[in-house]
């Protein structure tokens, strides 16, 4: 059995003169939580549609669970499309049973799993209500559960957090983690870096239709230079004080009676040496805080700012969702 749940090699998809996906290659190890990241329009959804056979690639190959994409292999895959849609007059339990049956689950087991999943995720009281009576967040959770009800080996979720409020986003994160702990492979796409940063073992970064980086999360974060944030009281010039001691400090923004600086940390024990240099220079420190690299910073470093997703520190990164009850 292959060590990879998914292997993508040289995928190309062109619409007219626009090359939406341009030679994308990556692989997903079995049992991992894998993120497909990048801004809207970078080629993520088109790639996932080729992976599950909705679109045929112009070039390239996909191997899924050790073989070619086929109706039989796709029974072992759960898929949440970017476009949401549920039958408004059906019930959550009815929809989940229907989807499980399509994947080959026997009717009695499908009904048992549907009720258990809805109960487990706070939707037991809505199991037999019509979808049109549910909120958008509830309906989206039903659709995510539908991708998992047949207990697939590989789960592919296209923008699973889109349109969810923060509480429901946490619920979906917990659901993904639980699938990973159960030994299943989970691949999800997102344009909000924070979700992937909290959950993923490995990632692929998309930009302009290409896979600009594929590797371990730690490898991506390690590409960001280490630094520390410092604040000094009054008019103290930290940059001038540290320069003779081999540290470069850049002023970021003046505050209320304080000056804020960023200093690079390079080499072994850099934090300790920087703090010692500040003490030696008599710097009136009110803050000394080594920073932790973020995935957004890694994306900018590896791909470039022009292709960067919205910084979640500046916006929530939500899109207006397609009405899941439509």
Decide whether 4-86+150-217 matches 227-290 in CATH topology: no
For the chain, the domains span 4-86+150-217, 227-290
- Over residues 70-94, the pLDDT tens digits come to 999 999 999 999 887 888 999 999 9
Report domain 4-86+150-217's class. Answer: alpha beta
- Tokens found for residue 164: 């969810």
Q: Which CATH architecture has domain 227-290?
A: 2-Layer Sandwich (3.30)
Tens digit of pLDDT at every position of the chain (326 positions): 578 999 999 999 999 999 999 999 999 999 999 999 998 889 999 999 999 999 999 999 999 999 999 999 999 999 999 887 888 999 999 999 999 999 999 999 999 999 999 999 889 999 999 999 998 888 888 999 999 999 999 999 999 988 788 888 888 899 899 998 999 999 999 888 889 999 999 999 999 999 999 999 999 998 888 899 999 998 899 999 999 988 999 998 766 778 999 998 887 889 999 999 999 999 999 999 998 888 988 998 888 765 666 554 343 332 323 333 33
pTM score above 0.75: yes
Q: How far is CA 273 from the centre of its chain?
A: 36
Among 201, 149, 211, 212, which Cα is nearest to 177's?
201
Residue in the block written with tokens 């960023």: 262
Instruction: Note whether 185 and 196 are within 8 A (CB).
Output: no
């Amino acid at each position: 059995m292959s060590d990879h749940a998914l292997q993508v090699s040289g995928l190309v998809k062109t619409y007219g003169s626009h090359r939406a996906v341009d030679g994308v290659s990556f692989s997903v190890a079995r049992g991992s939580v894998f993120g497909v990241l990048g801004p809207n329009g970078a080629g993520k959804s088109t790639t996932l549609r080729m992976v599950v056979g909705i679109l045929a690639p112009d070039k390239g190959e996909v191997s899924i669970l050790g073989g070619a994409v086929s109706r039989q292999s796709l029974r072992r895959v759960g898929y949440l499309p970017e476009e949401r849609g549920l039958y408004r007059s059906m019930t959550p339990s009815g929809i989940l049973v229907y989807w499980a049956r399509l994947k080959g689950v026997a009717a009695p087991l499908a009904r048992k799993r549907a009720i258990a999943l809805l109960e487990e995720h706070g939707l037991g009281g809505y199991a037999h209500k019509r979808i049109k009576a549910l909120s958008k967040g509830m309906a989206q959770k039903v659709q995510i559960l539908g991708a998992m009800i047949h207990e697939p080996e590989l789960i592919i979720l296209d923008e699973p957090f889109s349109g969810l409020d923060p509480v429901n986003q946490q619920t979906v994160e917990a659901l993904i983690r639980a699938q990973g702990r159960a030994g299943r492979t989970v691949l999800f796409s997102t344009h909000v870096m924070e979700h992937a940063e909290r959950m993923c073992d490995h990632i692929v970064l998309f930009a302009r239709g290409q896979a600009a980086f594929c590797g371990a999360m730690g490898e991506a974060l390690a590409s960001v230079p280490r630094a520390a944030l410092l604040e000094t009281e009054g008019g103290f010039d930290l940059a001038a004080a540290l320069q003779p001691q081999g540290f470069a400090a850049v002023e970021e923004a003046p505050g209320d009676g304080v000056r804020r600086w960023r200093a690079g940390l390079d080499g072994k024990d850099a934090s300790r040496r920087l703090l010692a240099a500040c003490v030696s220079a008599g710097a009136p420190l009110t803050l000394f805080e080594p920073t932790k690299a973020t995935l957004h910073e890694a994306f900018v470093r590896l791909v470039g700012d022009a292709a960067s997703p919205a910084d979640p520190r500046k916006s929530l990164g939500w899109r207006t969702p397609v009405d899941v009850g439509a």
